[in-house]
Amino acid sequence: MKRYRMGVIGAGNMGMAIAAGAVRAGLCPADGVLLFNRTPEKRAARAAQGFAVTDDYTGLYAACDTVLLAVKPQNFDEVLGALRAVRTQPKPVVISIAAGVPFARIEAALGADCPIIRVMPNTPLVLGKGASALVRNGAATEEQLAAVRNLFDQMGVTAVFEQEDMLNEIIPYNGSAPAYVYAFADAMVQSATAHGVPADDALRLFCQTCIGACALLLQSGKSAETLTREVCSPGGTTIEAVNVLKSRDFAGILAEASDKCIARAYELGR
Number of domains in the chain: 2
Q: Average model confidence (pLDDT) for the chain?
A: 94
pLDDT in tens, 234-267: 999 999 999 999 999 999 999 999 999 999 988 8
CB 21 within 8 A of CB 128: yes
Helix H or strand E encompassing 202 = helix 199-219
In terms of domains, do 23 and 89 share one? Answer: yes
Question: Given a cut of 90, is residue 121 above it in pLDDT?
Answer: yes
Residues 6+ apart with CB under 8 A from 193: 199, 202
In terms of domains, do 149 and 201 share one? Answer: no
**CATH code, domain carrying 148:** 3.40.50.720
Final residue before a domain boundary, out of 138, 169, 200 = 169
In terms of domains, do 83 and 142 share one? Answer: yes
pLDDT in tens, 2-14: 899 999 998 888 9
Residue 221, classified by CB atoms within 10 Å of its CB into exposed (0-12), middle (13-18) or buried (19+), is exposed
Final residue before a domain boundary, out of 140, 169, 198 = 169
pLDDT in tens, 69-114: 998 877 889 999 999 999 888 999 999 998 888 999 999 999 999 9
Q: Which own/partner pairs from 134-142 qualify as long-range (CB within 8 Å, at least 24 positions apart)?
A: 134/158, 134/159, 134/160, 134/161, 135/160, 135/161, 135/162, 135/163, 135/164, 135/166, 135/167, 137/103, 137/107, 137/112, 137/164, 138/112, 139/112, 139/113, 139/114, 139/115, 140/93, 140/115, 140/116, 141/115
Quote the pLDDT of residue 1.
66
d(CA 236, CA 200): 27
d(CA 4, CA 254): 44
Percent of the chain with pLDDT over 70: 100
Helix axis angle for 177-194 and 199-219, nearest 10°, is: 130
**CATH code, domain carrying 213:** 1.10.3730.10
Q: Which domain holds residue 81?
A: 4-169
Final residue before a domain boundary, out of 169, 200, 216 = 169
The predicted model gives 153-171 an average pLDDT of 95
Helix axis angle for 73-83 and 103-110, nearest 10°, is: 30
